Structure 1
Amino acid sequence: MKRFEDLSPSLRCIMTPGPVEVDPRVLRAMSFPVLGQFDPEFTNIMNETMGMLRELFATGNQWAYPVDGTSRSGIEATMVSLIAPGDRVLIPIYGRFGHLLHEIAERCGAEVYTIEKPWGSVFAPEEIIAEMRKVKPQVVAMVHGETSTGRLQPLEGIGEACREMDALLIVDAVATIGGVPVETDAWKLDAVIGGTQKCLSVPSGMSPITYNERAEAKVLSRKQVERGLRTDDSKLGGMSPVRSNYFDLGMLQDYWSPLRLNHHTEMTSMLYALREGLRLVLEEGLEARFARHLLHEQALVAGLEAMEMKLYGNPDCKMPMVTCVTIPEGVDGEAVRSMLLDDFGIEIASSFGPLKGQIWRIGTMGFSCRKNNVLRVLGGLEAALLRQGCKLPAGLALQAALDVYEQV
């Protein structure tokens, strides 16, 4: 019989756009004893988590809770529940994850309309609003922070336009929540999906979501159809029940309500992790956390520019948490990534689609967003590039980053 050794994963410096390093206090929380999902002590933890999520999402929404599963589970639960077959859905696409929203909307049976921007740029909100007037969608779904290109989409004004046109606005904030402001109520966002494995520094496995009364009204209408309480489709605009059991927000909110109607067995240890991760975010303070992400981005960019690396994309819409670097001509990008991992224990990312093999993506997110990590990745990248025969001004990158830190 084959014998297996004890599990002992390598300790990495993870500087990707997700996952990132997990705060040790979150890992400790995951080791706590398991409670039954209806134990009052555990349901109190559920309630505390909902309260902290409201602060994180900057909302007074009743519904703010995690969907069990990776970030895509939250996206799919929200879209499956809020997009009925035949709905007109507008999706602005400026990177890989806009295409994902398109695919999910099609699977929901929607009539999907898209507008696209070249990768590396974003839309002016006025462009999206103008397209809304043409399409007259029931739903607009879009990405806030596109990690495939490192760009941040402005959202101000789009929610107000959706209210005027009676459309729901769904926002994928998986990569941005906890790293930059996500003003759910102020921007009039109807449903927002977050992720744990990025700026929250919690392992992948839960997807925090929030949605308002406008979104809940559609959820409840579809729930009434499901239960046979309303059968006149003309009054529902052709409404149909949610086609998923697991991803039905109507059932999930019953589970998270005081009724505690059984829907699934809650991921106890992951909820401990999420609660601790949220506690740490709020303990640091959202404004301080946003400022920290900006500081380490500035140091990283200063170092890369001193190394004479070319940054990819429009700088006016850059995400603070993801820096995209054009791979120098003649350099084997994968060989550099391999050397960083094998010799320095540092992981950075490549990219997708048309950018595959063209750029590296360096994440400065959550617990990974630290001075020692930024200095380590700059030093390692310089060494790996020199070994590849790339000509660059050696020794300046770390000094440029240190200059940024000394100004604080």
Structure 2
Amino acid sequence: MQRALFGRSASLAQLAAAALDGTLAARSAPLLQRLERSMSSVSIPPPECMLRPLEVPVRYLFGPGPSNVPPRVLAAGSKPIIGHLHPEMYEIMNDIKKGIQYAFQTENNMTISMSGSGHAAMECAVFNVVEPGESVLITVNGIWGERVAEIAERLGANVHRLVKAPGECYTNKEIEQAIEKHKPVLFFLAHGESSAGLCHPVDGFGDICRKHNCLFLVDTVASLGAAPIFMDKQKIDILYTGSQKALNAPPGTAPISFNDRACNKMFNRKTKPVSYLFDMTHLSNYWGCDGSPTRGYHHTGPVSGFFALRESLAILAERGLEESWRKHKEVAAYFYKGLEDLGLKLFIPDKELRLPSVTTICIPEGYEWREMLTYIMKNHQMEMTGGLGPSVGMVMRIGLMGYNCEKTNADKALHALADVLKNCKKSKA
């Protein structure tokens, strides 16, 4: 169409000017020259959006994660890139390993960080210790049990689900009976079930698993740093978390640790893990955990992500785990009181079972939760979210974790909720 307007001999520069409707006319000559050169050799011109600077809004991330990142961690992530196999990088990775051991309260040598989100660690755990046809027992009282069950099914495991409503807990008796019945090689529990706002007790489960020669896998993506967990004392065989919640690093790294029982199963399997990227045979060498004097190339780790993770673990070490747990519990209690004063109902009735990092409230009667969340984002630049998986339509979720775990932020969230209750009321049939 444009070539017809200019004639068959029209230049590419003319066509570009016409196609962009003069929007580049005021730009600098060098930019137009680059455009002409690129269009002389390629058929698709540079997208106009990529000629504009990056813009990112400033928002209060008061959802279940990611959370706002402190300036110190942002600064660490912006440090100059070094090679992923440089000696200095190995030292940083060694620091990360020690920081994870502290955060997990473990002496496990096989402690690393996955290159990826919490899902990467989730898949790494299952892929490495479960083989096709083996029995797996998974508690499903929210979305994370559902995810682990699907991962195990995809590799061909014989998956048994112990299903309860979102937010409900399991007794030691129920777990032992199920393990005796299904004889699993792996039992999974989410310590911090963020889709329901539940912090599940884990005491005693490790003893049951050892009694029946079963590995105990625990998800602490939403709870690590916010609620007490003791990997060694509670006899947890595999523990993992994510970087983007109470640890306050950007998304993209996922600490995980395997004890000797898990390593024995992992390194004496009959078949190779279904994933090369998540194969701990290679990852253990990359992280210097296999006793080899040299580390070989496996993949290119997220260098800047590891910088940020190391800094977030340093902040946790400086503050101290017990102080971090105390602060999350204190701010959560303050927030619960404010929510109740607004007439809102907490989804988890027992305050001792509530996840300190992610609070769930029942959707107030007469309100449309999607409209409420949209209003809060538009008018308060604040992220809160609805339920996830089986809790969709049941709850709204508000996260105050890590850097965001302050009473001043709780007040901001309460103000936004009071405003939305006043302005978004709707009648339901």
TM norm. shorter chain > 0.5: yes
Matches within 5 A, 1:113-262: 113-222=160-269, 239-257=270-288, 258-262=293-297
1-side partners of 2:83 and 2:72: how far apart? 22
Q: Distance in 1 between matches of 2:426 and 2:344?
A: 11
Aligned to 1:334: 370
Shift of 1:259: 2.5
- Cα offset, 1:366, TM superposition: 1.0
Alpha-carbon offset, residue 354 of structure 1: 4.3
1:161-210 C-alpha deviation (Å, 9 max, x unpaired): 11111111111111111111121000111111111111101111011000
Residue 31 of structure 1 corresponds to 78
| 2:153 counterpart of 1:106 | yes
- For structure 2, the residue ranges without an aligned partner over 5 or more in a row are 1-45
2:343 maps to 1:308: yes
Per-residue CA deviation, residues 336-383 of structure 1 (Å, 9 max, x unaligned), is 111211111111010124432332111111111112211101011101
Contact 1:125 1:154 in 2 (8 A): no
Asked whether the equivalents of residues 349 and 361 of structure 1 are also in contact (C-alpha less than 8 Å), the reply is: yes
Question: What amino acid does structure 1 have at the position aligned with 2:359?
Answer: T
Deviations 1:37-72 (A, max 9, x none): 222111111111111111111000001110101110
2:121–2:256 contact (8 Å) kept in structure 1: yes
| SS of corresponding position for 1:323 | strand
Deviations 1:292-343 (A, max 9, x none): 1011101111001001111113324211111111122221211211121111
What residue identity is the alignment partner of 2:308? A
Q: Give the deviation of 1:390 after TM superposition.
A: 7.7
Q: Does 1:60 align with 2:96?
A: no
User: Unaligned 5+ residue runs, structure 1?
Assistant: 223-238, 392-408
Runs ≥4 in structure 1, deviation > 6 angstroms?
none
Q: Secondary structure at the match of 1:380?
A: helix
- Contact between 1:92 and 1:114, CA under 8 Å: does it hold in 2? yes
Amino acid at match of 1:375: D
What fraction of aligned residue pairs are identical, expressed as a percent? 34
Q: Contact 1:78 / 1:249 at 8 angstroms: preserved in 2? A: no
Displacement, 1:125? 2.4
Partners of 1:38 and 1:19 lie apart in 2 by 29
Q: Distance in 2 between matches of 1:362 and 1:152?
A: 15
Kindly indicate whether residue 313 of structure 2 is the aligned counterpart of residue 278 of structure 1: yes
Classify the secondary structure of the residue corresponding to 2:267. Answer: helix
Superposed counterparts of 1:68-87, under 5 Å: 68-87=115-134
The match for 1:397 is none
Give the aligned partner of residue 304 of structure 2: 269
Alignment of 1:3-42 (within 5 A): 4-42=51-89
SS of 2:345's partner is coil
Shift of 1:83: 0.6
Q: Contact 2:142 / 2:391 at 8 angstroms: preserved in 1? A: no
In the alignment, the residues of structure 2 paired with residue 366 and residue 19 of structure 1 have an alpha-carbon distance, to the nearest angstrom, of 10
CA contact (8 A) 1:327 1:358 kept: yes
Contact 1:149–1:324 under 8 Å retained in 2 = yes
CA contact (8 A) 1:170 1:191 kept: yes
